[in-house]
């Protein structure tokens, strides 16, 4: 059985936990868990927080554990001479909202919630903003994020959701708000990440699970053309590492060139050709055309075309070892890793 001092400590811990639940420090979703913890502490130490006898024997009111903690911090500062160490804690305590401010903020939040139910979203935002000024509570930021989202202002919603998460990284609703905002902005990967982070905290949340599945589907559908291009890329090249087959390129261009009689190729048809698009995309992702055009042979070819020399002979280019090496360098060949 715990001695009187331990019972007194347990009794005042229970008092602290109850006060935190009542003043809004603890999220609404966690209050049930907090009550279970209070019951466990009471049974383990043999105290009854509702007993007038135990209150008379163990309560330290009008003081509280937080008051005692402040006194301890100040005493330690004086005795050690290290005044700088407890300064941040003292500053945080002095800037913390008072009980009166918390009550006013809760009332403003309730007004905002009522306005949301009436679809008066801007008015609700104003109420939540007033509440945040009094008490920067993650719940208030989360509610304001929902109001921003209802107005279609999803960037502001994402910012408020991130503030809520910064204030309380264990606040699962903040991740849900952030994911919804990113989804609405079309940022499906960020939405997936946020939903997954939220489910780590609240793995049984059915709504987030369903929303995560939807976000993953949208992410997969977001760039089908990129998938098509990747599938088409191997057919555009015969060598390892994405090396394009310059002979195939010449064939695509209809044999046009300075030495052939095919004339100017159909550029519009070329750009609709998936193989051409695949090679262009692959080249851009492996160095860009700026470095490619620094090659003296290509520069000379471009100058020749501008001077009226006609299209180059692509069959000749296909058989030029230097051009093959250059293409292999940019398309990932030659044994180079990505």
Superfamily holding 4-95: Immunoglobulin FC, subunit C (1.20.5.420)
- Copy the structure tokens of residue 320: 């030029």
Q: How high is the pLDDT of residue 326?
A: 57
Q: How high is the pLDDT of residue 243?
A: 44
Across all residues in the chain, what is the average pLDDT? 75
Instruction: Answer whether 0.85 is exceeded by the pTM.
Output: no
pLDDT tens sequence across 49-92: 888 888 888 888 767 777 777 667 666 665 555 444 454 544 44
Out of 70-74, 98-102, 328-332, pick the least confident: 328-332
User: 100-221: same fold as 4-95?
Assistant: no
Domain ranges within the chain, ordered by starting residue: 4-95, 100-221, 228-331
Percent of the chain with pLDDT over 70: 57
Cβ atoms of residues 140 and 128 within 8 Å: yes
Chain centroid offset of residue 17 CA:
32
DSSP string, 137-164: -HHHHHHHHHHHHHTT-HHHHHHHHHHH
Cβ atoms of residues 217 and 288 within 8 Å: no
Rounded-to-integer distance, Cα 194 and Cα 182, Å: 9
Which range has highest mean pLDDT (87-96, 109-118, 254-263)? 109-118
Residue with tokens 């939220």: 198
Pairwise pLDDT comparison (234 vs 19), residue with the higher score: 19
Rounded-to-integer distance, Cα 180 and Cα 218, Å: 13
Please name the residues in contact with 289: beta carbons below 8 A apart, sequence gap of 6 or more: 283
Cβ atoms of residues 142 and 174 within 8 Å: yes
Superfamily holding 100-221: Tetratricopeptide repeat domain (1.25.40.10)
Using the predicted structure, report yes or no on whether residue 333 has a pLDDT greater than 50. Answer: no
Q: How high is the pLDDT of residue 322?
A: 58
Averaged pLDDT, 285-307: 60
Using the predicted structure, report yes or no on whether residue 145 has a pLDDT greater than 70. Answer: yes
Using the predicted structure, report yes or no on whether residue 271 has a pLDDT greater than 70. Answer: no
Pairwise pLDDT comparison (280 vs 160), residue with the higher score: 160
């Amino acid at each position: 059985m715990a001695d009187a001092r331990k019972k007194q400590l347990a009794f005042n811990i229970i008092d602290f936990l109850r006060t935190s639940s009542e003043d809004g420090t603890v999220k609404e979703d966690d209050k049930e868990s907090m009550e279970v913890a209070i019951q466990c502490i009471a049974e383990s130490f043999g105290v009854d927080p509702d007993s007038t006898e135990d209150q008379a024997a163990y309560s330290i009111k009008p003081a509280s554990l937080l008051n005692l903690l402040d006194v301890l911090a100040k005493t330690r500062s004086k005795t050690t001479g290290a005044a700088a160490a407890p300064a941040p804690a003292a500053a945080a305590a002095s800037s913390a909202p008072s009980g009166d401010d918390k009550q006013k903020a809760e009332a403003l939040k309730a007004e905002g919630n009522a306005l949301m139910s009436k679809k008066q979203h801007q008015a609700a935002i104003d109420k939540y903003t007033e509440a945040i000024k009094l008490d920067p509570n993650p719940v208030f930021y989360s509610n304001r994020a929902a109001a921003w989202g209802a107005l279609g202002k999803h960037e502001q919603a994402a910012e408020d959701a991130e503030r809520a998460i910064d204030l309380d990284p264990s606040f699962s609703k903040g991740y849900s708000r952030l994911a919804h905002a990113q989804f609405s902005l079309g940022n499906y990967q960020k939405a997936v990440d946020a939903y997954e982070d939220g489910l780590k905290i609240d793995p049984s949340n059915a709504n987030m699970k369903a929303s995560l599945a939807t976000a993953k589907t949208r992410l997969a559908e977001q760039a089908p053309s990129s998938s098509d291009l990747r599938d088409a890329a191997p057919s555009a090249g015969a060598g390892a590492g994405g090396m394009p087959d310059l002979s195939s390129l010449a064939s695509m261009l209809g044999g046009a060139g300075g030495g052939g009689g095919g004339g100017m190729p159909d550029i519009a048809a070329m750009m609709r050709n998936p193989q051409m698009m695949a090679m262009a995309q692959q080249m851009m992702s492996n160095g860009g055309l700026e470095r490619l055009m620094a090659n003296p042979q290509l520069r000379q070819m471009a100058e020749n075309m501008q001077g009226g020399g006609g299209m180059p002979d692509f069959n000749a280019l296909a058989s030029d070892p230097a051009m093959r090496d250059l293409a292999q360098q940019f398309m990932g060949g030659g044994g180079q890793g990505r």
